[in-house]
Amino acid sequence: MKKILMLLICIPFYAFSQSHDGFKLTSQGFISSSDSTKNYIVVEVPGKSQAELYKKTMLYLSGIYVSPKEVLSTVEGEAITVNAIAEKAVKMKVLYLNPSWDVNYTITFQFKEGKVRILQPSINSLATRTGDIYRTAHISGGSGPNHKEIYNRKGELKQKDGRENLELMINAYVDAAVKGITSSKQDNW
């Protein structure tokens, strides 16, 4: 029942993410799902200047975080970098448990006339607490007790559910950001 509910929740995000290019996770990090040679995606926004796109993105991102100045850094008019933690954002199995993991991520938006480039999202770390055990995880590499990796050092997938759930999380975030940036609601208040 829980799997069906999760599937019903994720289908709208998956369907929307297919309307434009998204990201897929590899052992080297995220890459464009339509062009594996690129670690970024470009969203076309015709008729919008670089300054307008920067401002709309800044307004959108400032509205989704409790304390934007803590998570946003900028190069005025050119780029915005988000470094945040999404609490209990993904599920990934540990032994017989399926806990929710906190995800520390970084994602950068760059701007040109009529275009927003979203650079390769970075998963800095994942963490969860199962009982009294604190566990960490990374995309690949890493070691130590209570540590997981989605890909091993040879690049082999070890945690399929972790990869799929991180892809869903990042693509849902990107989709929401694109929708927020391109929405006319910001203009009509």
Q: Position 117: which residue type?
A: R
In this structure, what DSSP letter does residue 184 have? S
Q: Where are the beta strands (DSSP E) in 71-167?
A: 72-75, 79-91, 100-112, 115-119, 122-130, 133-140, 147-151
Average pLDDT value for residue range 173-189: 81
Residue 86 pLDDT > 80, yes or no? yes
pLDDT of residue 13: 41
Contact 17, 174 (CB under 8 A): yes
187 lies in some domain: no
In a domain, 188, yes or no: no
Q: Long-range contacts for 139-146 (Cβ within 8 Å, ≥24 apart)?
A: 139/25, 139/27, 139/29, 140/27, 140/28
Whole-model pTM: value is 0.84
pLDDT per position as a tens digit, 8-62: 344 444 433 334 689 999 999 999 999 999 999 999 999 999 999 999 999 999 9
Within a domain: 105: yes
Range of the domain at 168: 2-182
Instruction: Give, as one character, the DSSP assignment of residue 189.
Output: -
CA distance 185 to 78: 23
d(CA 172, CA 136): 23
Provide the domain count of the chain.
1
- Residue 80 in any domain: the answer is yes
Residue 129 lies in a domain: yes
Q: What is the CATH number of the domain that holds 101?
A: 3.30.530.80
User: In this structure, what token pair is assigned to residue 89?
Assistant: 């954002």
